[in-house]
Structure 1
Amino acid sequence: MELLPFHVSPESSRDSWRSSSNSTRGSGAVPFFVIQGLSSLGDKQMILFVVLLLGYIIILGGNSTIIFVTLTDPKLNSPMYFFLSNLSFVDMVYTTTTIPKMLSSFLSDVTTISVPGCFLQMFFFIHLGVTARGILTIMAFDRYVAICNPLRYTSVITRRVQLVLIAGAWSFSTFCTLLAMIMALRQPYCGPNVVRHAWCDSASVRQLACADTSVDNFVSLASALVGLLSTGVLILTSYVLIGVSMSRMGVAQRLKAFRTCAAHLTVVTISYSSASFVYISYRVGNLSSEVRIIVAVAYAVLTPFLDPIIYSLRNKELRDSISRTLTRFRSAAVSTTKDIDIVS
């Protein structure tokens, strides 16, 4: 989701505009946008291409595995795994909105995207980013009920409540995204058309509008703050209450409670710390635009990349389920091989 815009002047964007049509302001709407990305890095782009490709493969593989085992293993039927599978799905789609286009940009001299495609990418990137934080908030509430009210857990976190909470996360992200997106769509874009980012970042695209965007900037910043701060405050409140409850427990119960929420707490810490780091990098004046873009890309990829790793390492039930699934696949492969040999 958007944090703050890069400090790029309209003049510098105008100078770097390479479109062959509509090359001056006021000459009509631009037919497409050019994604600047990291084209200035030259041959070093291939290193980033390999790193990003491997990271994307791990994101898809790790999160797909979590979704598969939570859907097929009856031992993983608790609400926590339902929420985790939804988070994995969001992480996969979230990264798919940007990474494939970034990978293609490393292999071409100029990367273009249609105006509708740009705004679709922008919408889903912000929307899914807020949705992921909404699901993390739900998971914090789930841990709060499990630790602070264990006897009422099954009666509180029913299947109907789980579905309502997930629908609420998606609705909340729509609320935080839709108004700013509608305002951005209504702006005229008549050139320049170079987006100085690795994807259609809303702040970078807004700088290309041919009209006053002060109201858009305010609405976009307010929406981002609502999405970040409201979820952050709710998560922090849940863990404060969990901490108070744990202080009244014995040592053994305290350790068990900590293990229950350790993975989620680790993911939340990484997610909000990386967002804070991006915010700081935007405000450091002596950083180049390339460094800021790399920081933004790392922020967008880091949490979806680490989520399946952290939950697999921290959760014994999930590790055991993955091991059982791999064993079943190996057994099926061996059986298939034997059948082929017999037929041959």
Structure 2
Amino acid sequence: MKHEEIKDKDNVSTVTQFVLLGFSDLPELQGFLFVMFSTMYFIILTGNFLIILITRLDPALQKPMYFFLANFSFLEICYVSVTVPRILVNICTQDRRISILTCATQMCFFLILGATECFLLAVMSYDRYVAICTPLHYPLVMNPTKRFQLATGSWLGGIPVQIGQTCQIFSLHFCNYNHIDHFFCDLPPILKLACGDTSVNELCVFLVAVLFAAIPFLLILASYSRIIATILRLPTATGRAKAFSTCSSHLLVVFLFFGSATITYLRPKSTHSPGIDRLLFLLYTIVTPMFNPMIYSLRNKEVIAALRKLVLRK
């Protein structure tokens, strides 16, 4: 495969496009991979669209918790749509070239949506905290204006920083080698291709990860420590079980997302290998979003009841 390179005055080649290697080392499995990713993408779209639909149509789900759940489902659709369609096109056409501008755009949207997911999960935990720990104030605190502001802040909060980080990464000089040993444009494999010292960029990536991932995760842990303490003080076992059931789905999603992301990005470099990295990124970017609608529907009686009503109505 030809890779475009332009020689500059210092006789150093400058990359004008990248090549996403993806799963090119598995030529005999290309058909299977196309079917697998297509099926997973369909499940993600269908499951999250159903959640959005029932939270809009069912009067019993017109609550702040389900307003944030609808936002989260729409976010998951956007999140996987940044990566999966490109994977399918690459497998189908076997043309794995991607321009620097397209690569930067994909990475920027991926980072922005990742930050949004961190913020939105923190907002959802705050919603559960207010509902369980201060139930009398819940309608006042989570009024329509406040929940709209929280959702908007989650969607927009990461945009300036992530655009800046993307511009910083792609202002680096890329030379000679333009193979990305990955199936989409992400920070670690792009940094590996940069010429010269990237320690400052790696430090910036770490600081942004602390800001957009570690701090929301700590806020979630603080919220749930108060929630669990409040639940344990409830006088009846029925009340404790009901309170736990409303939180368990969200808590499971939190640990799936932050756990897989932590393993993916914070493992020691000595343990990295292309095969393991790709499997972990699949877990983080595709498998987890696929299971989220199932987690929320199968562990939530109100969602199951709304789905049943929707099916019977149809």
Which of 254, 260, 263 is residue 249 of structure 2 equivalent to?
263
Deviation of the 1:280 alpha carbon:
6.2
Alignment equivalent of 2:50, drawn from 55, 65, 79: 65
What secondary structure sits across from 1:22 in the alignment?
strand
Report the residue type matching 1:19 in the other structure: H
Contact 1:184 1:206 in 2 (8 A): yes
Aligned pairs for 1:304-315 within 5 A: 304-315=289-300
User: Given the superposition, is the C-alpha separation of residues 291 and 52 from structure 1 closer, same or farther in structure 2, using an over 3 Å criterion?
Assistant: same
CA–CA distance in structure 2, aligned partners of residues 128 and 273 of structure 1: 17
Deviation string 1:87-143 (CA, Å, 9 cap, x unpaired) is 011100110000011122223434011211111100111110111121111110000
The equivalent residue for 2:174 is 189
- Shift in Å, 1:298: 2.0
Q: Which runs of 5+ in 1 are unaligned?
A: 1-16, 330-344
Structure 1 residue 44 displacement after superposition: 2.5
Alpha carbons of 1:26 and 1:69: their partners in 2 closer, same or farther (altered >3 Å)?
Answer: farther
Which stretches in structure 2 are left out of the alignment for 5+ residues?
none
Q: Describe the superposition over 1:49-69 as per-residue Cα deviations: whole angstroms up to 9, x where unpaired.
A: 322221110000000111111
What per-residue deviation string (whole Å, max 9, x for no partner) do you get for residues 27-77 of structure 1? 564332111112112212333332222111000000011111111222211
1:101 alignment partner AA? R
Given candidates 73, 78, 84, the residue that maps to 1:99 is: 84
After TM superposition, the structure 1 stretch with the greater mean CA deviation from structure 2, 274-283 or 264-273, is 274-283
CA distance in 1, matches of 2:111, 2:128: 26
Q: Secondary structure at the match of 2:97?
A: strand
> What is the aligned counterpart of 2:239 among 243, 253, 258?
253
Aligned-pair CA distance for 1:172: 2.8
- 3-state DSSP class of the match of 1:19? coil
Q: Which residue of 1 aligns with 2:211?
A: 226
Separation (CA, whole Å) in 2 of partners of 1:206 and 1:280: 15
RMSD of Structure 2 on Structure 1 (CA): 2.1
Aligned mates of 1:274, 1:217 — CA distance in 2:
20
Question: Please, which of 263, 274, 279 is the counterpart of residue 260 of structure 2?
Answer: 274
Match of 2:15 among 30, 46, 66: 30
Residue 187 of structure 1 aligns to a residue whose secondary structure is: coil
Shift of 1:176: 4.4
> Is 1:299 matched with 2:287?
no
1:202 matched to 2:195? no
Cα deviations across residues 182-211 of structure 1 (Å, max 9, x unaligned)?
212322334322112110112212222334
Within a 5 Å distance, the mapping from 1:65-214 to structure 2 comes to 65-214=50-199
